[in-house]
Structure 1
Amino acid sequence: MIAGGPRPVAPFSHATEVDGFVFLTGQMPTYPDDPDKPLPEGIEAQTKRVMDNLTLILKGLDLDLSNVFQVRIYLTEFDRDYEVMNRTYLEYFEPGKLPARTTIGVTGLAVGALVEIDMIAKRL
């Protein structure tokens, strides 16, 4: 668990590490400093909150987004939110240095979120 990280919404660790590979649990758009606060409204705000939570966890492990090589994204409203989520997601990575990625449409996510993102990183 990362000090100051988001409160888990289920029984899990923020991340686990094996042989330099770091597996980050899917994060929700909750606020680390106020986990009971209502979720941000809309896919853009929720994507930013999730990416900020993931960045916080990476920082707590002395890593950053340049260490990420695989991402999975789950969307409850795939057709409606895919384009806006993509634009928002791109703001977090250097141009031309994107990790591999899969995006999946799902019927529901914890805490009523519109988006959840998990990552795999590697210590370089």
Structure 2
Amino acid sequence: MQFATSPDAPRPAGPYSHAVRVGGFVYTAGFGPQHPDTGEVPEGVVAQTRQVLENLRVALRAVGAELDQVVKTTCHLRHPEADFAGFNEVYREFFDEPYPVRTTVGSELPGILVEIDAVAVSGDTAETA
């Protein structure tokens, strides 16, 4: 197992690693929209989703993976009915077809609008169709 905490992602809010590579897979923690240098949270679901996905990207890179190796995401939206369209708009900027499988749920997210975690195949086992 290879555990990693990236200096380029926001510091963990608790006792956990950003990502772990085990076997042929990479698992990430859930990432919020905090800027890694300032800790600031941008306004609105579009800006927050963009920051979350940038945070996720650097966590994956800490264990040698990229967003195009993601096979599954779990996405939490504080206001799913109001924010789903804006969230999807940005999500499409980071993922290409065929999109990873995804679960999107409404969640209690104090102070933020979006949180995402991912499962990816590791670089040495990734195959493209």
Same fold by TM-score greater than 0.5? yes
Alignment correspondent of 2:53: 51
Normalised by the length of structure 2, the TM-score is 0.87
- For residue 83 of structure 1, report the CA deviation from its aligned partner: 1.0
Alignment correspondent of 1:119: 118
- 1:2-47 deviation digits (Å, cap 9, x = unpaired): 2322111222110122212111101010011122x3x100000000
Alignment correspondent of 2:76: 74
Is the CA contact 2:20–2:63 (under 8 Å) kept in the aligned structure 1? no
Counterpart Cα distance in 1 of 2:20 and 2:54: 19
- 1:73-124 deviation digits (Å, cap 9, x = unpaired): 0011010001110111011112x22100000011x225x1100000001112
SS of 2:15's partner is: coil
Alignment correspondent of 2:36: 32
Counterpart Cα distance in 1 of 2:20 and 2:66: 15
- For residue 60 of structure 1, report the CA deviation from its aligned partner: 2.0
Normalised by the length of structure 1, the TM-score is 0.90
Counterpart Cα distance in 1 of 2:49 and 2:64: 22
* Deviation beyond 3 Å, 4+ runs, structure 1: none
Match status 1:61 vs 2:66: no
Is the CA contact 2:71–2:119 (under 8 Å) kept in the aligned structure 1? yes
- Percent identity reads 39
Alignment correspondent of 2:16: 12
Gap runs ≥5 in structure 2:
none
Gap runs ≥5 in structure 1:
none
Amino acid at match of 2:53: M
Written as runs of structure 1 = structure 2, the 5 A alignment for 1:97-112 is 97-106=98-107, 108-110=108-110, 112=111
SS of 2:119's partner is: strand
